[in-house]
Amino acid sequence: MKAVVKNGIAVFSPQGFLDGNNTNSFLGIEDIEAAKKLKADMILVSLKKVVFFNRNGLDTFIKLFLNIRKKNHATVGFCDYDNKKYMAIKRFYQDDVNFSLFKSLDIAYLFSSSFKNQNKNVLVFSHDRSQRSAIAIELHDNGHNPVIAQSEEEYNEKKENKDAYDYIIDSTFLGQMGQKVATRVTGNAIIYTISSFLDVEISEQFNIEYHNNSLNVGFRLFIFDAYKVISMNVHALNFFSKLASSAAEYNASICFVGMKFNKTPKSFKETLEDAGILFYKQMDDILQNKELLKELGASSASNIKNKRALNKETVIELPNFIDATVVTIEMMTNSKAIKEAAEVHKLVIDNKEGKIASSIGYYGDIDGMVILVFPSGIAKKACELLIGENTDDTELILDTLAELVNIVGGKIKTLLSDKLINVDITLPRTYQDVDSLLEVVENRKGVQVDLSFDNDKFLFFLTR
């Protein structure tokens, strides 16, 4: 069984009955190896379609997952259960729960550092006081606004006011959480929260794919919230120095906020400053200073001084990129996709009104970014297979468009690997209007191809 990965969470969805005899069959050696390679923040088993389970069944999953966790520091556990299943799990394990429990997958997303949809108001309740605090701290580190109900009465009272909260969390338990670096987005800056002792593990805990993706899609200001850092060693120093060097290629700024050097050699600060890292005492010193924000590159999502031109390697592989898009659209719509015209220039979008877009980056032997621009209604049609219902919910359509471009990215990866060109794909990004897309790709040259299916036109743009 393969995991479905979304928003940094890999989910296995077994169906029916789970016991000690069959759990190993759900996850073969190949599946475990594939899961180890996933750069997921969490690896969860959905119990949504499980009608019966016993402790042996869950134990086998947990053993397999703890093994994966050793390798990639992901949070592991279960999600999508009702109260009866939650009570059963708590009864099986009593006080010995070393995994996490998320009532629903949507709740789990709130704790994923790859979840873009942040700044949510979340009501939190747990009978366990330490859990209430742990949940609130994690949510806060991930850029949400938790409100803790201190008692069941207060919780029942507060949850009546449904409009006040985007999410309500109960029957959720944070076991050993992943040690991934928490990430949140504020305006055009990305904030990473680091804490404790920083050593060689930082390279495993830091989601470099997400960081590269953010650079590729135009983010230029990265802030490390380092208030809770106690010290760092030379391995962490090297890691941050390298990160600063790679950021310099994109003209991006990396800042540390709140870092104290009581237990870290002062010379480390000088080394980091030499590498280009800036230090500030407080977060507001940056976020409240518009001039500084502009200087650091956060006034616009795009501020590349050294724009990279399309190169020969990319142009040679252009048919593969177009094929991947055409094949995916044909698969999703059961209709013939047609290439109409191709030209090299800056992205030109005639009528911006009502258009949405999605992009995905790739890097490795070659690198670049594929962008698809659709009129909203046609995006909905192209995503019909994934959406499955008639909807005008823009968030859902954008979310599904991200899934579609992710499939295109997967296809690109396959087509290129057939030619022994190895690339990885970044997380997809969506744009609910064309202006926010143009901010990112403004002045970049690329190949623009007009495509259509069922006479519905959309646009493909390949750039670097």
DSSP per-residue string spanning 397-425: HHHHHHHHHHHHHHHHHHHHHHTT--EEE
Token pair in block for residue 425: 């794909």
Q: Which stretch binds other proteins (CB under 8 A): 43-51, 238-246, 252-260, 299-307?
A: 43-51
Distance CA 133, CA 445 (A): 49
Residue 258 binds to other proteins (criterion: CB under 8 A): no
Name which of 138, 147, 145, 29 is nearest 75 in CA terms: 138
Token pair in block for residue 138: 């994690």
Residue 40 has a CB neighbour count (10 Å cut-off) of 27
| Among 4, 66, 164, 234, contact with other proteins (rule: CB under 8 A) | 4
Residue 32 binds to other proteins (criterion: CB under 8 A): no
CB of 49 to other proteins, least distance (A): 4
370: Cβ contacts below 8 Å, ≥ 6 apart: 321, 325, 359, 360, 361, 362, 405, 408, 409, 412, 460, 461, 462
If the CB atoms of residues 50 and 255 are measured against other proteins, the closer one turns out to be 50
Q: Report residue 450: phi and psi, to 5°.
A: -90, 125
Q: ∠397-399-402 over CA atoms, to 5°?
A: 110
Q: ∠210-214-215 over CA atoms, to 5°?
A: 120
Residue 51 binds to other proteins (criterion: CB under 8 A): yes
Q: Which stretch binds other proteins (CB under 8 A): 16-24, 199-207, 211-219, 264-272?
A: 16-24
Distance CA 253, CA 352 (A): 31
The four Cα atoms 95, 99, 104, 105 give a dihedral, to 10 degrees, of 170
CA neighbours within 13 Å on the CB side: how many for 152? Answer: 3
> Taking CB under 8 A as the rule, which mask of x and - marks residues 380-409 in contact with other proteins?
----xxx-x--------------x--xx--
If the CB atoms of residues 11 and 42 are measured against other proteins, the closer one turns out to be 11
The size of the interface with other proteins (CB under 8 A), counted in residues, is: 36
Residue 83 binds to other proteins (criterion: CB under 8 A): no
Distance CA 204, CA 140 (A): 22
Q: Which stretch binds other proteins (CB under 8 A): 47-55, 90-98, 106-114, 315-323?
A: 47-55
| Among 7, 26, 75, 314, contact with other proteins (rule: CB under 8 A) | 26
If the CB atoms of residues 253 and 328 are measured against other proteins, the closer one turns out to be 328
If the CB atoms of residues 98 and 334 are measured against other proteins, the closer one turns out to be 334
If the CB atoms of residues 215 and 332 are measured against other proteins, the closer one turns out to be 332
368: Cβ contacts below 8 Å, ≥ 6 apart: 310, 314, 361, 362, 462, 463, 464
| Among 311, 334, 422, 443, contact with other proteins (rule: CB under 8 A) | 334
The size of the chain, in residues, is 464
Residue 8 binds to other proteins (criterion: CB under 8 A): no
| Among 331, 336, 395, 419, contact with other proteins (rule: CB under 8 A) | 331
CA distances from 145 to 41, 134, 141, 257 (A): 20, 14, 10, 21
Among residue numbers 52 through 71, which ones bind other proteins (CB under 8 A)? 52
CB of 50 to other proteins, least distance (A): 8
> Taking CB under 8 A as the rule, which mask of x and - marks residues 160-199 in contact with other proteins?
----------------------------------------
CB of 360 to other proteins, least distance (A): 12
Residue 13 binds to other proteins (criterion: CB under 8 A): yes
CB of 166 to other proteins, least distance (A): 23
Residue 281 binds to other proteins (criterion: CB under 8 A): no
Residue 16 binds to other proteins (criterion: CB under 8 A): yes
Residue 455 binds to other proteins (criterion: CB under 8 A): no
Per DSSP, helices labelled H in 75-195 are 83-93, 105-110, 129-141, 152-159
Q: Which stretch binds other proteins (CB under 8 A): 5-13, 133-141, 312-320, 431-439?
A: 5-13
Instruction: List residues near other proteins by CB under 8 A.
Output: 1-2, 4-6, 11, 13-18, 21-22, 24-26, 28, 48-52, 330-331, 334, 384-386, 388, 403, 406-407, 410-411, 414
